[in-house]
Amino acid sequence: MSEDFLSDIKKGLERPAKNQKSIFQNKTEKTHPVQIRDSTYFKLKTLSFEQQVKLVDLVDSMLKYALELDKYHI
């Protein structure tokens, strides 16, 4: 049983083919590129480094917070 588990881990550590994902990779939601100003990008990049979170997760949480303020009436 442990041999099967170890072989699964070994397969996951190998470089996956284009259509295959690593067994350790979380299921991710589809993302879209957005354009932001350079000054804003560098602030966000610094914040994500300081908070030790991915940039996409930081921007996502900031946008969700802004949308919950009911300022935009969506």
Q: What does 50-61 look like in DSSP terms, one character per residue?
A: HHT--HHHHHHH
Nearest of 32, 28, 12, 9 to residue 20 by alpha carbon: 12
pTM above 0.75, yes or no: no
- Every domain of the chain and the residues it spans: 37-74
Residue 74 CA to residue 61 CA, distance in Å, equals 17
The per-residue pLDDT for range 23-66, each reduced to its tens digit, is: 555 667 788 889 999 999 999 999 999 999 999 999 999 998 98
DSSP state of 56: H
